[in-house]
Amino acid sequence: MPEITMEKIKRIRERTGLGVMDCKTALIEAEGSEEKAIEILRKKGLATAAKKALRKTEEGFVGSYIHSNGKIGVIVEINTETDFVSRNTEFREFAKNIAMHIAAFDPRYVSPDNIPEEVIEKEKEIYREQLKDSGKPEKIIERIIEGKLKKFYEEVCLLEQPYVKNPELKVKQYLTEQIAKFGENIVIRKFSRIAVGEEP
């Protein structure tokens, strides 16, 4: 089987705007052929979904979920390009699923981009403190810190978490599937989770 190089993955990423894993999986499926890999991604609707992510979203819907015990509630604002999609029953089901996920996983931010810089710096400081007596070279320490930050993002960022109804997918992949399905850019804008007895 032809070698799947980082150069090939990078070229496909540049052409589709997709993540490393999507590009790599398509290349493996296409046995190393870049054109075939792009065709595979287009058929799955992922390549178009990535391009749609640049379009404006000024319509939308506020989804909600109240847990069966009545002690956890979530509201989430999800934006679309058109009112046509935001009124769609399946889209509203998607919004409810996202609200249900938030109730279960309790994320603090939508994505790593929403985390204040001081929070990230504080985390890095804690990791550095933990590693200061490890005797490892600075380069290795930086790599470990990056790995720990990635784990931190998976814990606190909605889009980085494994989706509650299908842990094989991250929430961001579930979102990408919806963008491909509805043919419009969709953005999870903000959310609020309330739990009885928890501090705001």
Give the relative orientation of helices 117-131 and 138-156 as an angle to the nearest 10 degrees.
130
Residue 194 CA to its chain's centroid (Å): 22
What are the residue ranges spanned by the domains of the chain? Answer: 6-52, 59-110+158-195, 116-156
Note the pLDDT of residue 51: 62
Burial 107-146 (b: 16+ CB within 10 A, else e): bebbebeebeeeeeeebbeebeeebeeeeeeeeebeebbe
Whether the CB-CB separation of 77 and 189 falls below 8 Å is answered with yes
Tens digits of per-residue pLDDT, 42-82? 777 665 666 666 567 778 899 999 998 899 999 999 999 88
What does the angle CA 141 – CA 146 – CA 148 come to, to the nearest 5 degrees?
95
- For residue 21, the SS3 value is helix
In 3D, which of 119, 105, 107, 22 has the Cα closest to residue 67?
105
State whether CATH 1.10.3720.10 applies to domain 6-52: no
Note the pLDDT of residue 27: 86
- For residue 188, the SS3 value is strand
Note the pLDDT of residue 130: 87
* Residue given tokens 């997918």 in the structure block: 169
**Rounded CA separation 108/117 (Å):** 14
What pTM was estimated for this model as a whole?
Answer: 0.70
List, for the chain, all residue ranges whose pLDDT scores fall below the cut of 50.
none
Tokens of 193: 């989770």
What architecture is domain 59-110+158-195? Answer: 2-Layer Sandwich (3.30)
Note the pLDDT of residue 72: 95
